[in-house]
Amino acid sequence: MIRTPLRPLASVLKARESGENPDLIERENRRLRLEADRDRARARAETRLLALALIFMSAFFVLGARMALLAATEPLEMSRGFQEDISSARADIVDRNGVVLATNLATHALYAETRRMVDPARAARKLGEIFPDIDVPRLEARFTDPARRFIWIRTRLSPEQQQAVHEIGEPGLLFGPREMRLYPNGRMAAHVLGGASFGQQGVRAAEVIGVAGAELYFEERLRDPTQVDVPLHLALDLTVQATVTEVLEGGKRMLNAHGATAVLMDVHTGEVISLVSLPDFDPNARPAPPTEGEPADSPLFNRAVQGYYELGSVMKTFAVAQGIEAGTVTPQTMIDTRGPLTWGRFRIRDFRNYGPELSVKDVLVKSSNIGTARIMQPIGAEAQQDFLRRFGLLEPMPLEVSEAARARPLLPARWSDLSVMTISYGHGMSTSPLALAAGYAALANGGRKVTPTLVKQQGRQVGEQLVSPRTARAMQLMLHQTVQEGTASFARIDGYPVGGKTGSADKPDGRGGYKKEAVLATFASVFPAHEPRYVLVVTLDEPVDTTGSEPRRTAGWTAVPVSAEITRRVAPLLGLRPVRLSQADAAFELRP
């Protein structure tokens, strides 16, 4: 660095010549140098201050951000499960009254660390004594295999088994804590709950994951760490569910049916109070999916949700409702029912001959195929499709079980005029009992669409208006008359007036025709008839009533008595007071 001299010779000489004091020059230069130094020092100090300020500011920001983050996150309760990445926590499932349907239970899994084992042969032998299904030579071979260091032996142990394993005294046999899913009510509501099994397994914990039903559908909700302590409230009522199961089981046994299903639904909220499908299974030991035979015959098959069948005459209600809603008929209009009704090669017949003509009301009450076909004829395919679509009968009916989205109705490939007629009495199109219940619920609640739900609701649903309240009321009256005068006379119960429609559909034989002696009997009912609050659909698969001189298969002799018994038992449980029939009739006259 070149410094400016304090006494530059040229300036000093010049000053001396002119007689000035050369010291002044030195002093001047010294002053300049000092000033320059001072400026430099100040600049450096300023930079340092700025840097310091920046550091402090960023520190404050980091702290502030961290505090905001801590304040915004949900607090978590520490527990044993959280130390590992795998969380076995899973919320309980309870019914609408808080009764436990599914809960977690602490248990232990058994594993072996072969390096720490003292006597593998003895351990294998002793384990074989405790668990008879263990293959002892194979287990011993695995214990002594040098490539293996870690072996899972059992995923769940009972306390007795755990004690027995302790007593072997083998240091290489170890226990890992597990959470086990327990369904304390056994088979009750098995199809709704589904079942659970283990997902990722660690030594300290294992994931409990749902494999079917509501357990799988609500997987995220049940395992959400913030909601683990909040049980999931289903709409089911365990007492009602148990009663329906008991009666349906008895009916199925007495009538020699293959299977049976019942859906009980609140018509205003869409809550499914009870859903039973028989045969059922124990979700604590969910059977493996069948590898052979018809999947629909497996106990795992949920007939109410997955079982899309041609349900027969129960669908006539929708045809009549559409006729009245369209204004083409009234309940009093006379319909020509001379048979058979011929359409191309196809003939439509009635169960028996009902004479030359019937009123629309009697078409429903006596269940005339020709009658409904004639009602639908002028309305046509497009309007029919539109009507059924708005009722949700052309798509899978949603419900909070994992199986619901997988099944869908079978519809005709080409919706011809013949399809219009056959669908009007329930053939040529398949419907699930659940979808049927939702459809009847819409007619029962004054014409508003309801979507069935398994979750407890706070208030009624206000869905799309499907038919006018007038039409809905007319249908309620006609369903009531069907029970009072028509095919469903066994549904007359003391105290609880019921409205409903029967359906006895021949089962398809898989070759395009129908089986002669295999019937699917359905009864869709609403109660109390004059002011419907609940809809109940009962379907029996191939029932036979053998109490008479010849076997009777129609719904009036099979599904209706079972449904009536369910209603008789369940209505008081639902808090309905009995009313006299005259009161119901008066209610219909008062509010037609």
What residue ranges bind another protein (CB under 8 A)?
Answer: 77-80, 99-100, 103-106, 182, 184-186, 188, 238-239, 241-243, 246, 493-496, 568-569, 571-573, 577-578
Task: For another protein, give the closer residue by CB, 180 or 544.
Answer: 180
Using CA atoms, how far apart are residues 189 and 234, in angstroms rounded to an integer? 11
CB of 552 to another protein, least distance (A): 27
CB of 308 to another protein, least distance (A): 30
Q: Identify any residues that bridge with 261 across adjacent strands, giving them in sequence order.
A: 277, 539
Find tokens 């001299």 and name the residue: 5
The Cα-based distances of 60 to 46, 56, 68, 71, 553 in angstroms read 21, 6, 12, 16, 82
Q: Identify any residues that bridge with 502 across adjacent strands, giving them in sequence order.
A: 523
CB of 577 to another protein, least distance (A): 5
Taking residue 218's Cβ as centre, other Cβ atoms within 10 Å add up to 22
Task: For another protein, give the closer residue by CB, 37 or 229.
Answer: 229
CB of 62 to another protein, least distance (A): 22
Whether 109 contacts 186, CB under 8 Å: no
CB of 339 to another protein, least distance (A): 41
CB of 79 to another protein, least distance (A): 4
DSSP string, 194-249: -EEEEEEE-SS-EEEEEEEHHHHHTHHHHH-GGGTTS-EEBS--HHHHHHHHHHHH
ω into residue 340 within 30 of 0, thus cis? yes
Q: Which residues contact 440 (CB under 8 A, 6 or more apart)?
A: 267, 317, 524, 525, 526, 535, 537
CB of 234 to another protein, least distance (A): 14
Find tokens 């639904």 and name the residue: 265
Task: For another protein, give the closer residue by CB, 119 or 246.
Answer: 246
CB of 173 to another protein, least distance (A): 23
Q: Which residues contact 315 (CB under 8 A, 6 or more apart)?
A: 423, 424, 425, 426, 429, 431, 503
CB of 569 to another protein, least distance (A): 6
Task: For another protein, give the closer residue by CB, 540 or 571.
Answer: 571
Task: For another protein, give the closer residue by CB, 21 or 79.
Answer: 79
- Residue 516 phi/psi, 5-degree rounding, is -75, -45
Task: For another protein, give the closer residue by CB, 241 or 432.
Answer: 241
Task: For another protein, give the closer residue by CB, 43 or 105.
Answer: 105
Which helix (H) or strand (E) segment is 418 a member of? helix 417-424
At 160, which amino acid appears? E
Task: For another protein, give the closer residue by CB, 463 or 578.
Answer: 578
Task: For another protein, give the closer residue by CB, 104 or 402.
Answer: 104
